[in-house]
Amino acid sequence: MSQICHHFETYYEAWSAQIGALCFLLTGHRADSRDVAFQTFLRLGGAKDPEIGEKDARMLLFGSAVRLCDDYYLKKLRKPHSRKTLELQNLPFPVTDAVCMLLRLPFKRRAALALSHFGFSLQEIAQLLHIRPDAAEKLTIDPQIPGWQEAIDSMAMTEDEAYILNDRIYERFAVRSVSVENFIHDARNAFDRALPFFALAVLALFALAIGYVRQG
């Protein structure tokens, strides 16, 4: 088994429910949110410091969740899920008005509200979302959605989901080097993010070349 964070099980038990809720809130799809949660906990398991303390582990874990959900969000259609499509997922919680309204909010607004609800400070939220504290304060203003905190809590992983995910994580720990896999996954995501900018640069060079030929 590859080396993993020494307090992984303690951290998993403490935060798996919140990570499950955050990942669903940011993806809007139950199966995909479990996959993102899986990758998120691999980031913690492969932490450079196996003795990582609770505060740093929490920041690493929730920061990884937001980043991985953002990667997912960029790769998928950004059309908000309708109540009907949510109900077709057979979710383990009721699809309330609050759930639907939360999922229609912008990505960073959803993330900031969830992080604030989970007890992160404005400074920590700003760090996790890579924004200024004053921007974090604006994003965490009460959204005026009745029962929004309860709606976020309802999105948490069930005990069965958490148990299955935990087994899946340890199976991966047993057969692969988590730190290497995390590096490969991050490199792939970085390439995917850079690809549109690379394509635009090529188009710009192509346009310049055409202009140069015409002038000649």
**Does 205 reside within a domain?**
no
Identify the H or E element spanning 24: helix 8-27
Q: Is residue 53 part of a domain?
A: yes
- pLDDT tens track for 6-15: 899 999 999 9
| Full DSSP string of 152-165 | HHHTSPPHHHHHHH
The residue ranking higher by pLDDT, 103 or 210, is: 103
Domain count, the chain: 1
Q: Which of 87-91, 112-116, 151-155 has the lowest mean pLDDT?
A: 87-91
30 found inside a domain: yes
Higher pLDDT, 164 or 71: 164
**Of 215 and 182, more confident:** 215
Q: Given this model, what pLDDT does residue 175 score?
A: 75
Average pLDDT over residues 175-189: 53
pLDDT of 83 above 70: yes
Average pLDDT of span 51-70: 95
In a domain, 196, yes or no: no
Assigned domain for 80 exists: yes
Q: According to the model, what pLDDT value does residue 180 have?
A: 53
Exposure string over 106-136, b if 16+ CB within 10 A, otherwise e: ebbbbbbbbbbbbebebebbbebbebeeebb
pLDDT band for 197, please (50, 70, 90 cuts).
very low
Domain that holds residue 95: 8-179
Angstrom CA distances, 151 to 71, 177, 187, stand at 24, 37, 34
The reply to whether 135 falls in a domain is yes
Tens digit of each residue's pLDDT (9 = 90 or more) over 136-152: 999 999 999 999 999 99
On the question of pLDDT at 88 being above 50, the answer is yes
- Is there a domain that residue 191 lies in? no
Residue 189 covered by a domain: no
Residue 177 region by backbone torsions, left for phi larger than 0, else alpha for psi between -120 and 50, else beta: beta
